[in-house]
Amino acid sequence: MKTDSTLEVSVETPGSIIARIALQCGITPHRLGQIAGISGDTVAKILKSGGNGMRLNILRQICAALNISPNTVIELLPPVVLEPPPPLLTPGRKRAGK
């Protein structure tokens, strides 16, 4: 948190979860890329963007390199709360004579 009047908002993303697990394992992003068989630039982009647009096969490779299941990353994400959808059909006006 910042000490001034503005608040820093941090949201858990797949990229931040991967970064935290890699840090706990003592693995740098460059080394993670080497172990996973993907470029270090790809890993850096995933960590910087939060994993936005990350393909499933890349997630699987990174998780295999960290010896975790992709489910572990997904389960650590915060729940998503969606508003209920609007009704599909609304009753119309009744016609006179029917």
Cα distance from N-terminal residue to C-terminal residue, the chain: 65
Residue 68 is part of which domain span? 14-75
The pLDDT assigned to 37 comes to 96
Positive or negative CA dihedral for 20, 21, 25, 27? negative
88 lies in a domain? no
Q: What is the CATH number of the domain that holds 32?
A: 1.10.260.40
Number of domains in the chain: 1
What pTM was computed for the model? 0.71
Is the model's pLDDT at 91 over the cut of 80?
A: no
Measured distance CA(34)–CA(57) in Å, rounded: 16
DSSP, collapsed to helix, strand or coil, labels residue 48 as helix
Residue 10 confidence (pLDDT): 65
Is 90 exceeded by the pLDDT of residue 26? yes
The CA angle 68-71-75, to the nearest 5 degrees, is 115
Question: What would the pLDDT profile of 43-73 be if each residue is shown by its tens digit?
Answer: 999 999 999 889 999 999 999 999 999 999 9
Give the CA angle between residues 33, 35, 41 to the nearest 5°.
Answer: 10
